[in-house]
Amino acid sequence: MTARSIGGFAAAAAIVAASLVPMAAQRGGGAAQPPDNAPTPRMADGRPDLTGWWGGGGGGFGGGRTLADLTDEKGNVFLQLNARSQGSALGTASGQLATNFERDSGVNQRSDPNKPIYKPQFWEKVQALDVNGNSEDPTFSCGPAGVPRMGFPNKIVMNPAEVVFLYDNENTFRWIPINKPHNTDRDPTYKGDSVATWDGDTLVVDTNNFNDETWLGWPGYFHSDELHVIEKLTRTGNTIRYEVVVEDPQVLQKPWVWNPRMIRLNTDPKAAFWEDPPCRDEDLAHIVTKERG
């Protein structure tokens, strides 16, 4: 198993039962969650201010639960991740139990009823990428996750003219102008070209001009350079409702509409980003099996 963090999955595979500090602070302490019914802060132009540290990262856990669902009154999060007790074909030590966990988790992800629906001629490619995921998934070679796979930002900073999304898990950012047209002079990129507009109190982020070198999701969900992503962020008090629509008319039969996610504000005064070490892939060439999940 690689030493890199791949969307948190490689680390998660080694956990059978974990008691975690709240992720919302992303390296902060366990401050109590603020009440959801607080007034919605607004900028000078009257629009909701999304500025703050936000919890849950990519959002959502087993069974569609959010971070808030798993948080106790002290701000701690407990998530039970059970592996089959019989062990794997390799044995019954903790490492083999982790192998079972990864395989079981893979079955769970593949059976999610809300998945991108590809045109018939592309399902064979999806399955081939899934089976050979260790060598095909761009994140396994230190590539970026891209939009929307990188998930919800860990921190947002904004003013009436622009919004900046900061991501701890990739040490990256997205600068998004508000009420500006797309930049048509740029070459396609991993994160695409994002612009934002307001629809009432909802910030709508429209992103196009992608390359085709990232995936939409872990089970081989590739996309073309016609990818178009719409994200909607609606702040109410101390929560943001996050909605995503993925369009790719070249490979998808219809838009992929994510299940909405509720992201909570974190007011921990110790919240901060830590610099991650550089991604150095030193073991991919030595993997003896391509099997995942």
- Each residue's pLDDT, cut to its tens digit, for the chain (293 residues) gives 333 433 333 333 332 233 233 333 444 444 556 667 789 999 999 999 999 999 843 334 443 445 555 666 677 766 655 556 555 555 666 555 656 666 777 777 777 889 999 999 999 999 999 888 777 889 888 889 999 999 999 999 999 999 999 998 778 999 999 999 999 999 999 999 999 999 999 999 999 999 999 999 989 999 999 999 999 999 999 999 999 999 999 999 999 999 999 999 988 888 888 777 777 766 667 777 766 66
Indicate the pairing of strand 228-236 with strand 239-247: antiparallel
> Would residue 156 be called left, alpha or beta, if left means φ above 0 and alpha means ψ between -120 and 50 degrees?
beta
Q: What is the pTM of this model?
A: 0.75
Q: State residue 8's pLDDT score.
A: 36
Contact by Cβ (8 Å): 81, 65: no
Q: State residue 56's pLDDT score.
A: 45
Structure tokens at 64: 């569609």
Contact by Cβ (8 Å): 154, 168: yes
Phi and psi at 19, nearest 5°, equal -105, 115
Q: Enumerate residues 6+ apart whose C-beta is below 8 A from 121.
A: none
Closest CA to 227 of 241, 215, 239: 215
Beta bridge partners of 208: 193
